[in-house]
Every structure is written in structure tokens, then in C-alpha cells.
Structure 1
Amino acid sequence: MDNLPEHLLSSIAHYLNTRIETISFRSVCNSFRSSAPPPLPPRSHIKIPSPPGLTDDGHLELTESTIYAIQPPEKSTETWLVKVEESNSGKIRVMDPLFKLRIKNMLPESFNLLDYRVKEIAKSCRLETVSSSKTCYVRKAVVSSDDDNAGEFVLMALINDGRVGVWRSKDERWTNIDIGYKSFNCKDIIYHKNKFYAMGFDGFTVAVDPKSFKVTQAAAASEKSQSHLMMHSLVKSRNDLFLINTYWLYKYFQHGPLFGRISLDVFKLDKDNCKWIEEDGLKDQNLFLGEDGSFMLSAKEFPSHKGNCGYLIYADLSGINYDPRKENIAYFDLEDPSPGSQPAALSKYSEAFWPLPTWLGQKQNCR
């Protein structure tokens, strides 16, 4: 490996898109290490001022987490999904993939990433309140890295009452974004292909440039999205951006557990014509709708995860009382006409993430 030309190694390093790719590349040998600069440290407990109009007796702390897909080194259909928070000191916490603050804290005693195939699937951010009031009012946050200034970033946050604010890491104050749409009430935000996107309850979506804060219309409202009884989510997959409308076809309680059937309307952004185009379900995608971020997995790339189905949290659907002490997870299969139920959802969810797969070959260490 040390005999490869320096210019070839530099060209390869230019196409490393994620932190784990850079770490793996630099771990090969000395020549590989010198050809790629070390990745930036994870954003961990970064102090951020409170947005205007809220509380002024404290501040916010930003922490990033990453979801990885880990597979055995040999060709296999088995995949383990894990959400990890890493501090600047190197200490990590293993989190539940769909929840903000639910910690699993189950790790092998030792874990060498070079012994497995590891792929970064998605990133998510959490803003926590640090104040005497202990009030949590930021529903979701997404981050844009500034490629021209290493280490700097722009943060977009979805605040209560459907407001959207942005904050540059070099600024002292937040900037409120004027969507230019009088009745706009933001339901979800995302960062995709160098732009922020903010979506209202009816599917009307705008794009915000992270450098100039210029607002442009990305998509007109979708007629099938104009309902307050739906959960509206923005999810990216590969190079595409999707709008997912989730709703109950029917639901009922029977001796405690919730039974029912969940349905989805799926739209893909037509960037050139500024509109949402309805898709025929999720096709080969497995969907995960979480509190602080959502993601998709391709069933072709990860055969252990069935396409056209997925998981979501009850708290995100109207009419359901959220209890943080319970596993409020719903499983849905758009190709299965039989009713889904909460117990089945829990079983499938547990199988997808916990416990650690046996092929890791390591003793679990509960911290």
C-alpha cells in the first residue's frame, strides 16, 4: 500500500464523504494517513445562545449522533444498526435509533471497526436546554457544515409555535427566517444537498441557503397533505428528498394495547418543477421515523431490512398520548393487509436493534 503514488491517494481521499470513511482510510498505513487530514471532532455539548423570545436564563447545548450500519467482513445479509454519540474525549454513548434521549449503553468490551464493514447511514442533532427553568422547547435541529471554513457550521432549529430560526457558529444571535407565507406553520426541517428545507403542514416547502439565508420556494402545497391528522416528515434517501404523510386508517384499544393500521402517502421532490410527485409506496426502502431525525435503508443494499415497511413513534401521530416510559413504537408494512399491533411492533423493533448480534463475537458490557 505504501507504494501507491501520492497524487492517487490524495485523489481518493478527496472523495471520502464521512468521518468513518476518513478514519478507516487513515488507518491503512502511514502513506494513507498522510494523504488525508484527520476528520473534524464530533460536535459534542457545544454551547449555543437561546433563541429570542424564549428563555434568557440559560443556553442550549448541541450534540450530534450518528447512525451506523455494521455488517460482518464476509458477504452477509446480516446488519446491525446502532446510533452513537461521541464526545471530544472519545467517550461514546449508544442510543436508541428512534428516540432522542433513550440510552441503551450496551457495547462489546472491545470493538475494532476495521474488523467489520461499517457505513454511516444518517446524522441527527439534539438541542438540550441548560437553564433553571429546565424547559425544552426546541423540537428539532439540523446542521450544515461550512466547507469553506473548517469547523464552522450553521444550525436550523424548529422552535415551538411552528417558528424556524437559524444560528451561525460565528454569530452571537439567532436569525429568524421570514418564510414569506403568512399562515406558514413549520412541521419539519432537514438539510439536503447544501440547503435547508422547511415544510408546513400542507406540504408547502421552502429552501433556505445556509450562507445567505435566502428563502426560495421548493415545492407547492400538496392537496393530499392538507390535514392536521397526519404526521408530515421530510426524509432524504440517496440524492432524493421525500415527503412522508403518515396517518391511521383505523385504530382501537383492546385491554390496554393499541391495535390498528397505519398508512403512508409518499412524495418525491421534483426540484425543477417545484412540486411533490406522488410515489407508489416506499418501493425497496425501509423507513425509520424518529424524534430527532429520520432515515431510509435500501433493502437491496441491506437485505435483512424488508422494503416498503418501517417503524415510527406513536408520539408523532395525532390522537395518541405519548408516554416516555413506554416503548411507543409502531411497525407498518404497506404490502401486508392484516392489521398491525403494538406488541408485534415491539417484537420486530427489538429484533432489528437489540440485543447485540451474535456474529459480533464479543461479550456485552453494560455500562
Structure 2
Amino acid sequence: MDIIVDWSNLPIELWTLIGEKLKLHIEYLRFRSVCHSWRSNLPPFHPSPPPKFPLPLSSSNEPTSFLCQNTLYLLRSPATSSSGGWFLKVEESDMMLLRNPITSRRIRYSRDESLSECLNLLEFKMVELGKSYFLRYIRASGSVSGLKKVTLMPSEKGSCVIVIIDDQGKLGFAKSGDQKVRWFSHGDCVFDDVVVYKGQTYVVDGLGCVVKISLCSETIQISSKLDGSGGRKHLVECGGELYVVDRYFDEAQNKQEGLDWGMFRRRRRYRRYESGELKVVDFKVYKLEWGEGELGRWVEVKSLVDQAIFLANDCSFSVSAKELAGCEGNCIYFTDENNVNLALRDVTRPENFVFSLEDRSTHKLGSSPDDSTVFWPPTK
């Protein structure tokens, strides 16, 4: 015999316990949207103090920045479930902000509306796809400069540990409350990306070598280098496997503009140059085949079938094209913005592009009618 439970009439002593478990403002709003009883009885939202960390070059004896996070959601509407959903990226800081899922640039809505007012959670189902992180100054406004990647490292005993890659490709880590960032010593390697994959933290350098890192500053190389010579490597989990996407820049164009390409490759500087900005012209995708007692090797992937890879400024991810309205499978979505400094995301105006692995073509996102429906809110 089935027992029917009236979930709208929970015992009063549970509400405080439930409120303590809701760490993010959007989680609180989603819970309140279930019914009138839950909306009326849930206590006011009180966010937990964010963990604090030192700046990479700080000489202070106390933490000078705090950790913020973006959460990426797949947004589905029951009315349009047959045509897929949309990407939604929400920043949780002192207020909720909506950001472009690729460039992380802030999306502004009506001056008189907040995100909770323009997004009716009663109309959508939300599936969390992942999180990305960045640092903000404690005593100043804006994101911390000089960093191209921040991620939260899996750790035991409730400690909060971040891994950072600075603009010069140096790899470091810090625990919450530390006074200084500790840097990994791994020869002259210049690192491009870091990702948490199956509970472990992996980084990739400019040659395509993947290294597993731990809290005790150990580094274990797990892959050989790539045959490709692209300008930047991205780590991404796709279909449960670890991939690297190698991004190629326009060498010929920048030679004409007066850039020393050889110097660029040696110094690995990812920033705007006075004579122009590097443009993306090609991608190659590789899957890691793990070795038994030996280094894993990279196998080039010619087709992603129905998968699409998104190379965001703060993280990379993949999704089945069937999940998104207007999404193309076997494609790479990216920004042609070469400056990857997270602090400048609201200053620059990068464009979104789509690269097809099938015919090696690139088009600007939004140039076809279906493109406008990939992200929420969809454009008219």
C-alpha cells in the first residue's frame, strides 16, 4: 500500500535545518518556488562567509581576496522539452548575476529587475552541469588580476583549497586562510589549463603533457606530449573521458602585423599585443588513452558525433547537442578573445564563435537563427 505524504506540510522544526543546508541564493529561490507553504515557512537566506585566500604576489600577512563561483545550469521548460533547453550561468557573490556561459561577461537585464524577478523558476527545471571559480579583492572592487584559471581542489576534512594558473603559466595553490600562495616546481613548464576529473586534479602544459597534482605538492606526469603545436591547450571531460582541445592561432596574420611569433611561442603570453590580437583559425581534439604502468597517449579525434565542446574563459565543458535548442553537434563553441585574464571579462567585448570539426569552418554565434537559442535568455 502506497503512503501519500503531504510535503507541503513539513514539521516546523525542519525549516531551520533546511535553511542551513541551502548554501547558494539560487538554491534558496528554487526551494521557495516549489509551493506557497515552502515559500512562506523557509527562514530568510543568510549566505555563508566566502573562504579567503592570499593574492599571488601579495606581501600582506593576511588573506586579501575571497572565492566566488559561477554555476552552469541546463534550463528546461516543460513547454519546450522536445526542442531542448538553454545554458544559464549564474554568479553567486553579494548578489546573483547572469553571465555569458562562454565569455563570462555579465548579461544585463532591466534596471528595475533582479535575476530572481526576471527568471520565474516555476516555469523551468534546472540541471546543474558544473561550477567555475574566480577571486575578488576584499578591499577593492573587481576580480583579481593576473590570473587565467582558478579551480577548487578536492580535499579532505572540509578544508578549502584552490589551484591557480597565473598569466605567465605558473601553477600554485593555497588553502583558505593562508598568507601566501605556494608554487609548484615543475621545471620550466608553462601551464595552460587545470581541471578536476574523477575526483583528481589534472593540469596540462603548453606541450600537451598532463600532470596530476596533490596537496603535498607532488606532481605525477600521466601523459606524453602532443604531436600538435597549437597555441593553447584546454582540458575538458567529454563522454566520461579526458580530452584536450588544441587551439591554433593565425601565425601568418600576426607576422604581417609585426608580431614575433617565435617569441610568442617561447614566452607563451596570452594577452593583447599593441599590433593586434591573435585570431583563432583551427582546432584539433585528442582523447587520452590511459597506459598500464606507462604514460598515456593522445589519440586525435576526428568527430565528436553529437557532442559539442564549449571553451569558456573560466572552464570548459561538453554537452550533447540534443540537450540544447539550436546547438550543433561535432562543434566547438569558443571566444576569439585572446586575453584570458579573468579580471577583464566585464571590460572587453569578446565575440562567440562556432567551429565545425566536420568541414573545419567557423561562423560567428548568432549569424544563424538557431544560434540565438543556445543561451538563456534567448534573443528575439
- Judge same fold: TM > 0.5, yes or no: yes
Q: 1:261 to 1:122 in 2, by over 3 A?
A: same
Cα deviation for residue 309 of structure 1 reads: 1.0
Q: How far apart are the structure 2 equivalents of 1:264 and 1:280?
A: 11
Q: How far apart are the structure 2 equivalents of 1:282 and 1:249?
A: 24
TM-score computed with the length of structure 2 as normaliser: 0.69
Matched residue SS, 1:207: strand
Q: How far apart are the structure 2 equivalents of 1:245 and 1:355?
A: 30
Aligned to 2:149: 140
Aligned to 2:353: 330
Aligned residue identity for 2:83: T
Matched residue SS, 1:283: coil
Q: 1:355 to 1:21 in 2, by over 3 A?
A: closer
Q: 1:166 to 1:121 in 2, by over 3 A?
A: same
| Identity percentage of aligned residues | 26
Is the Cα–Cα contact under 8 Å of residues 154 and 201 in structure 2 kept in the other structure?
no
Q: How far apart are the structure 1 equivalents of 2:91 and 2:280?
A: 33
Query: Once the two structures are superposed, what CA deviation does each residue of 1:55-96 show, in whole Å capped at 9, x if it has no partner?
Result: 4368233210011110112532231211101236xx311111
Matched residue SS, 2:367: helix
Q: How far apart are the structure 1 equivalents of 2:182 and 2:209?
A: 21
Aligned residue identity for 1:278: E
Match of 1:125 among 130, 133, 149: 133
Cα deviation for residue 230 of structure 1 reads: 2.3
Q: 1:270 to 1:22 in 2, by over 3 A?
A: farther
Q: 1:248 to 1:161 in 2, by over 3 A?
A: closer
Q: How far apart are the structure 2 equivalents of 1:175 and 1:110?
A: 42
Q: How far apart are the structure 1 equivalents of 2:86 and 2:75?
A: 5
Match of 1:80 among 56, 76, 86: 86
Cα deviation for residue 98 of structure 1 reads: 1.8
Q: How does 1:86-235 map to 2 (within 5 A)?
A: 86-87=92-93, 91-100=95-104, 102-106=105-109, 107=115, 109=117, 111-129=119-137, 136-146=145-155, 148-149=157-158, 152-169=159-176, 171-179=178-186, 182-210=187-215, 212-224=216-228, 227=229, 229-235=230-236
Unaligned ranges ≥5, structure 2:
8-22, 39-45, 110-114, 255-276
Q: How far apart are the structure 2 equivalents of 1:203 and 1:245?
A: 8
Query: Once the two structures are superposed, what CA deviation does each residue of 1:214-234 show, in whole Å capped at 9, x if it has no partner?
Result: 32112111122xx2x522111
Q: How far apart are the structure 1 equivalents of 2:188 and 2:202?
A: 17
Match of 2:319 among 290, 297, 301: 297
Query: Once the two structures are superposed, what CA deviation does each residue of 1:122-168 show, in whole Å capped at 9, x if it has no partner?
Result: 2111123457899711111000243542xx32100002322111112
Q: How far apart are the structure 1 equivalents of 2:291 and 2:32?
A: 39
Q: 1:264 to 1:282 in 2, by over 3 A?
A: farther
Cα-Cα RMSD: 4.2
Unaligned ranges ≥5, structure 1:
5-17, 33-39, 359-367
Is the Cα–Cα contact under 8 Å of residues 310 and 332 in structure 1 kept in the other structure?
yes
Cα deviation for residue 207 of structure 1 reads: 0.5
Aligned length: 318
Q: How far apart are the structure 2 equivalents of 1:92 and 1:296?
A: 24
Out of 349-358 and 182-191, give the one that drifted further: 349-358
Q: 1:170 to 1:331 in 2, by over 3 A?
A: same
Q: 1:72 to 1:145 in 2, by over 3 A?
A: same
Q: 1:355 to 1:73 in 2, by over 3 A?
A: closer
Query: Once the two structures are superposed, what CA deviation does each residue of 1:322-364 show, in whole Å capped at 9, x if it has no partner?
Result: 9954333332122245x535xx434356442264478xxxxxx
Is the Cα–Cα contact under 8 Å of residues 261 and 332 in structure 1 kept in the other structure?
no
Q: How far apart are the structure 1 equivalents of 2:174 and 2:333?
A: 31
Aligned to 1:264: 283
Could you say which structure has the higher strand fraction?
1
Aligned to 1:64: 69
Match of 2:367 among 347, 359, 365: 347
Is the Cα–Cα contact under 8 Å of residues 250 and 261 in structure 1 kept in the other structure?
no
Is the Cα–Cα contact under 8 Å of residues 43 and 63 in structure 1 kept in the other structure?
no
Is the Cα–Cα contact under 8 Å of residues 33 and 121 in structure 2 kept in the other structure?
no
Q: How far apart are the structure 2 equivalents of 1:78 and 1:243?
A: 27
Matched residue SS, 1:307: coil
Query: Once the two structures are superposed, what CA deviation does each residue of 1:150-190 show, in whole Å capped at 9, x if it has no partner?
Result: xx3210000232211111225443322123xx231111111
Q: 1:42 to 1:277 in 2, by over 3 A?
A: farther
Aligned residue identity for 1:331: V
Q: How far apart are the structure 2 equivalents of 1:265 and 1:113?
A: 39
